[in-house]
Amino acid sequence: MLDWFAALLAITFVALAVIYDVRFRTVPWDIYRPKAAWLRAGLYFCCCWLLSYLSGGMQLLLDSPLYTQEQLRNPDWLAWTLGLYAFILIAYAGVWTYFTPVFERRKNTLVSALFGFLWGSSSGQLFLAVWLTAGRLGLPDWGTWLLTFTMLAAWQPNWHNIYWDHYIAPEHDTPMTQKIKALGCHIPNMAIALTYLTLYENHLIFVSTQVIACMSAGIGMRYPAPWVAASALNYARRTAARIPRCTGYIPKDPRSDPYTPFYPGWRPADRPPGT
């Protein structure tokens, strides 16, 4: 059954690539168009799921139990599991969402949640695939953890800064919020979740935490539906480096800017009416 699913993923990837090449290949990088963004995201999702299939991660998710009776009787496992879910919810539904400028995007919670589910289930399986591949090198558990963390720490920020945050995600950061999210959400997420995976090997729980994180982020940034018109406002900022990296929205006056959480008394509800 999984072989057929993998074949369908490969066909879907090719179809999306052809559609994108025909319709959006010439779209400038600094013009955000939701239809093009969804196509690019679809290509990424297919790649992640295919890597999960090839690594054996997808089969593990189907075959492994969510938890065992022995784990339910283990207070350490219960504490780790509850603590991991609590951290993910606080970090992404709380901190990440609070420090996310949404500009003039309107809420569409169902569409944003759907995008977050696809994003989280694919990225979570990508992380699992890297962990499984590292585990086949014969390293001790701590070596597998360290190698996986190092590889993901090199991949994630570069993938997001160079591609994801302009070609797939609408603008949702400033230089300061990038640092807040990296230190308060992304780095501890990888450290804690990979430690949990290494200790207990609950593959589905691990992936589910990344689904929750990305669904929270998708809703928090108000990810637009593919049928939404492109915004007339362009907040894209990139460095002049040889490989351009996004820097996020740079307000003229952070203390009075209506889109950013820097001026005294700011709350998400303070964003301009109609957003």
On whether the CB atoms of residues 70 and 200 are closer than 8 A, the answer is no
What local confidence, expressed as pLDDT, does residue 204 receive?
Answer: 98
CA dihedral 51, 157, 113, 24 (to 10 degrees): -80
Kindly report, residue by residue over 96-134, the tens digit of the pLDDT.
999 998 888 899 999 999 999 999 999 999 999 999 999
Phi-psi region of 250 (alpha: psi -120 to 50; beta: other; left: phi over 0): beta
pLDDT in tens, 193-218: 999 999 999 999 999 999 999 999 99
Q: How far apart are CA 54 and CA 35, in angstroms?
A: 29
Taking only the tens place, the pLDDT of each residue in 145-163 is 999 999 999 999 999 999 9
Distance, in Å, from the CA atom of 4 to the CA atom of 135, rounded to the nearest integer, reads 27
Task: Name the 3-class secondary structure at 17.
Answer: helix
Could you state, in order of their start, the residue ranges of all structural domains in the chain? 2-270
Whether the CB-CB separation of 263 and 105 falls below 8 Å is answered with no
